[in-house]
Structure 1
């Protein structure tokens, strides 16, 4: 199976200079082509016969017009500016189809610096990896932060985040062997707990952004007070970027461990097909929902179930899993988010709200009968003065 790897590099100062040079060449080609397309679009307002250049047309013009003026283009790999033009054309195609907004010019020093390298073909890859180092074209052998399978590949992407460099590539690996007779599990994703499984296992939500918010605000104020273009501002921005990267890594680590456990130890994983973009419109919960990484959880479960030969089932988003009793299937009245305990007025079942929803998700199937909502409602008796919060 084809699997992608992304790991950190340990370049020396000379190699970091080469990396930044490749990023600059790719950014220059991207911005140059972007200005060309904007000029063509302005010309099309009066003359519709003007053709929007394709990625191949832009590359031909780049070779004929730009490279002779800037000889430092030849010091970098030719694949980097060529791929930048292809990415720009893809961004404009998405804009024309109204899938995304209009692309913008790339700014020097942004955290999203990256470039593309290619050598050889799919049948005869030219980028070698000996497990501890990788040999990149125009750069040479670069040390890896962690050992990787010894293999060869014909293309890769080098990216930078907070002064740390990463490499991403694809290679063929063997399908992992999984044990037979694995159970089925239903998973309820939430804010209080990252995930609650139908077997009773819970995974805590680390809330990395919330924990680091005070420190992040302090660093943001420090950046805003520094003079633009000064060395102190660059140092403050670097510290802020490292903190953002730390928050992102904590969130990704928790999601990776959760999704690997679900896909590896269960034959079928059932999750709700949540509309995360609609959830983010709730400005009271948008920060907490974004800190959970719900969309990233769904993305990782999709490819990891294929990796471990499992099945992923997306439960209908309108299935009232939180309102149906998992024992007697009674459909009670609506439950606001502040009610964390499910109480069934029919059979007297009392259990955690998320656990009840996870068990309903596990027994869901296409065309399941949803009972009508019961008129019986659990009375909200006021709590006496001497009763503790835990008992309530």
Structure 2
């Protein structure tokens, strides 16, 4: 099974200059090939690959970069075109030097004594290795982030240790008030990483807008903005990795809806919050970690009415809108938490159950008890809200 490790590089000043040249050359070639594709309507990978020889003659600095890395840029453009023609992405754009850039080095590299040796660089680059054994290395790539940091991505082939199986099954309902509610009664809080840092982001972006274009102060301000965004991203990824791994370890089967996030972010009022939550990334992590550790993943149709359907009697509440978080089933008089009720329905349909299990009945009974133990005025208020009074 293929696995990618990411390590921080600590290059010297001469090594940074060399890496910047490599990254710049690969980016330049990518943009040139894209320009040729637009002008000549040329989208074939092999035809574009032939143009590299002529471009090397026209731009001699490309010879300082190993040929395989340049071919990797051509391959990246091919993938971008494939995604476009398969309607998975928009038409490829030109790459900017202020954004994340990377180069691939499939061969002729060496990792030894916590150092990286790459073609055409005489000195070694120190690596901050946080793992002793990483398996059989297939290829590497070097990434430069907008904040100016360098990372080594190592693609390895290794066997993942399967987790011991259990009988636990859980359904997850993604949300914004709460990041996710689980059918076992647990919930994952939405930490809203971008929202917490939004004031600081606006402040430094305002300072950036006042800097003169092309000045050193503007370049420094760009790096400051990139560092803040990178910190937000790292915090979010750390949170998603920990929570997804916990769900994988505790449960044999996970059931989730196939959310159409691209359609959902068209809502201008919710788009920022949805992107901050990163449901798609969490879903992606659940999928590949389930495959790694021998767990089961079940994906449900996003249009299944799990929220409006009573998990006890099956009644469909057509009046339920997005603002109603709690409701009462008019048929069986069960008090429902909107998200928790959805997870029970997802669990039932995912496992192919036609009836509730004793555990589900106990949870539903607890919900009903919570409702009837509340005050008379609150019950009246809930009922009036449900009936639209």
Alpha-carbon spacing, 1:129–1:326, altered in 2? closer, same or farther (3 Å): farther
Look up the SS of the partner of 2:80 in the other structure.
Answer: helix
Instruction: Considering fraction of residues, name the structure with more helix.
Output: 2
Structure 2 gap ranges (5+): 356-381
Question: Are positions 1:192 and 2:177 aligned together?
Answer: yes
How far the C-alpha of 1:307 sits from its partner, in A, is 0.6
Does residue 1:61 correspond to 2:51, yes or no?
Answer: yes
User: What do the CA deviations read for 1:326-380 (whole angstroms, capped 9, x no partner)?
Assistant: 333333343223222233333333343222221221111487779xxxxxxx632
The answer on 1:35 being equivalent to 2:19 is: no
> 1:218-367 alignment to 2 at 5 Å?
218-365=203-350
Indicate how the Cα distance of structure 1 residues 186 and 100 shifts in structure 2: closer, same or farther if over 3 A, else same.
Answer: closer
TM (norm. structure 1) is 0.83
Do the aligned residues in 1 keep the contact of 2:33 with 2:48 (CA within 8 Å)? yes
TM-score, normalised on structure 2? 0.84
CA distance in 1, matches of 2:10, 2:215: 27
Could you list the per-position Cα deviations for residues 9-45 of structure 1 after superposition, in whole angstroms to 9, with x for gaps in the alignment? Answer: 222222222211101110121122222222313xxxx
Find 1:114's aligned residue among 80, 85, 102. Answer: 102
Q: Which residue of 2 aligns with 1:14?
A: 14
**CA offsets 1:98-147 (integer angstroms, 9 cap, x no match):** 5433322223x322221111215xxxxx54355x4443333453333342
In 2, distance between residues paired with 1:251 and 1:367? Answer: 34
Deviations 1:74-109 (A, max 9, x none): 3222222111122223323444455433322223x3
Q: Is the 2:136–2:158 contact (alpha carbons within 8 Å) kept by the matching residues of 1? A: no
C-alpha displacement of 1:258? 1.5
SS at match of 2:384: coil
Q: Segments of 4+ in structure 1 off by > 4 A? A: 96-99, 366-370
Q: Which runs of 5+ in 1 are unaligned?
A: 42-51, 121-125, 371-377, 383-392
User: Which of 57, 60, 63 is 1:74 aligned to?
Assistant: 63
CA distance in 2 between partners of 1:152 and 1:143 (Å)? 20
Look up the match of 1:156. 140
Provide the secondary structure at the position in 2 that maps to 1:186: strand
Compared with structure 1, are the counterparts of its residues 33 and 309 closer, same or farther at alpha carbon in structure 2 (3 Å cutoff)?
Answer: same
Separation (CA, whole Å) in 2 of partners of 1:250 and 1:19: 27
- Aligned residue for 2:74? 85
Partner of 1:4: 4
Is the 2:258–2:301 contact (alpha carbons within 8 Å) kept by the matching residues of 1?
A: yes
| CA RMSD across the alignment | 2.5
Cα distance between partner residues in 2 of 1:284 and 1:102: 27
Q: Helix, strand or coil for the counterpart of 1:259?
A: helix
TM-fit CA distance, 1:152: 4.6
- Asked if 1:100 is matched to 2:104, the reply is no
Q: How does 1:372-387 map to 2 (within 5 A)?
A: 379-380=383-384
Name which of structure 1's ranges 178-187 and 302-311 shifts more when overlaid on structure 2.
Answer: 178-187
